[in-house]
Amino acid sequence: MASISLRNVVKKYGAATVIPDLNLEIEDEEFIVLVGPSGCGKSTLLRVLAGLEAIDGGDLMIGDRRVNDVPAAKRDIAMVFQDYALYPHMTVRQNMAFALEMRDLPASEINAKIDAAAKLLDIHPYLDRRPKALSGGQRQRVAMGRAIVRDPQVFLFDEPLSNLDAKLRGQVRAEIKTLSRQLRTTMVFVTHDQIEAMTMADRIVVMKSGVIQQVGTPEEVYEAPINLFVASFIGSPSMNFLPITLEGEQLRLAGGDSLPLDSGLSTGVSGPDLILGVRPEHFEVVPEGQGIPAEIMLVEPLGSDTLIHVRAAEQDLIARVSPDLRPVAGGSVFLRPIAGKAHLFDSATEMRLIGKNGK
Ligand SMILES: Nc1ncnc2c1ncn2[C@@H]1O[C@H](COP(=O)(O)OP(=O)(O)O)[C@@H](O)[C@H]1O
Ligand SMILES: [Mg+2]
């Protein structure tokens, strides 16, 4: 168990600066999910934490200890990789025992730790198999077991679910979350998948090009994304963006349609160069005259609800509607943002404009 503190951390590869100046405080026992598009520096940051990469500036603290110059083996951190990195010539038991044998623990203690981890992860039946005789999900569990027996201060996970099929991914996601509650160890989990981030994290760290965009609980980043990047990255399908001009109490949309300004958007600003952000689930279908006319281009029934791809206010938008509406391609509906759910951004700075109610 330990807190982690990154202060003005810089990481370069040759002339390329991958992390220009990063600050982050992770609390003891916290489950942090680092999320961002491929290439934004997530793995680099994990490798920095693990001590597999040296930093070019700043300070890295684990607990009270400054670990800038502490080698990986002495950091008391366990890392689970995307490809699991199990030793192919060793059985599951030997894979799990390896790091403990290196520490010269007595055999009885090693076996007790393996038994406990195997019970936790439900991998007892495979202890004598080699990795090649295991399914992807089983290997993933063994990789976690190997990390757990080390009883580290911090767990690092680098996209450990990306090689699993969708159903298994959902299952293991829930297992890791449950595990984190049981182990009460600080965890940093990297993913490019915003659903994993939303479902697992105590706090999400959204990164872009080595720069943290926002740190917050899943609710915070969903309900109050700080800029257009976070707004479009978190949530699926992505938030819709409409260029607007604010004229008094009216939102003027491209093409001439307008909507009344709802109280949640009273930001004190007016004029052009604003962007209205509306999540697909925050459109409501309203009678003619009360919303913007939308031509239905494509219908995607999901069972529980239906996505309609529409053309409205000169934009391609997606709305999540009730299947009972029985929408059909070629038809039309009238859409309006649900009061208090829309977002307003400055198109020049791409930053969210804060409303009167602080949202
Ligand atoms: N060993 C390396 N040498 C040079 N550049 C690297 C190295 N590792 C990663 N990079 C670069 O650093 C950037 C971030 O990579 P990475 O941390 O792997 O991103 P992510 O895990 O978010 O997909 C990428 O542009 C990548 O090409
Ligand atoms: Mg990566």
**For the chain, first and last CA: distance in Å?**
34
Distance CA 100, CA 145 (A): 12
Report which of 187, 153, 206 is spatially closest to residue 35, judged by C-alpha positions.
Answer: 206
* Helix boundaries (H) for 127-240: 136-148, 166-183, 194-200, 218-223, 228-233
Nearest ligand to residue 40 Cα:
1
Q: What is the DSSP letter of 150?
A: T
**Are the beta carbons of 17 and 65 closer than 8 angstroms?**
no
Tell me, using a 6 A CB cutoff, whether residue 227 lines ligand 1: no
Distance CA 62, CA 201 (A): 20
Neighbours of ion ligand 2 (CB under 5 A): 43
Q: Is the pLDDT of residue 269 over 80?
A: no
69-97 pLDDT, tens digit each: 999 989 999 999 888 889 999 999 999 99
Report which of 327, 325, 323, 355 is spatially closest to residue 342, judged by C-alpha positions.
Answer: 355
**Are the beta carbons of 161 and 136 closer than 8 angstroms?**
no
Residue range 245-259: mean pLDDT, rounded: 88
Distance CA 281, CA 337 (A): 9
Q: Give the number of C-alpha atoms closer than 13 A to the C-alpha of residue 146, restricted to the C-beta side.
A: 28
- What is the DSSP annotation of 276-303? EEE-GGGEEE--TTSSEEEEEEEEEE-S
Q: Is the pLDDT of residue 356 over 80?
A: no
Q: Is the pLDDT of residue 267 over 80?
A: no
Which domains does the chain show, CATH number per domain? Answer: 4-232 (3.40.50.300), 238-346 (2.40.50.140)
**Are the beta carbons of 1 and 28 closer than 8 angstroms?**
yes
Q: How many residues does the chain have?
A: 359
* Probe target for ligand 1 pocket from 17, 19, 33, 43, with the most ligand atoms within 8 Å of CB: 43
Cross-sheet strand order for the sheet of 65-66: 16-26, 4-13, 57-62, 65-66
Tell me, using a 6 A CB cutoff, whether residue 207 lines ligand 1: no
140-157 pLDDT, tens digit each: 889 989 999 998 999 999
Check: pTM over 0.85? Answer yes or no: yes
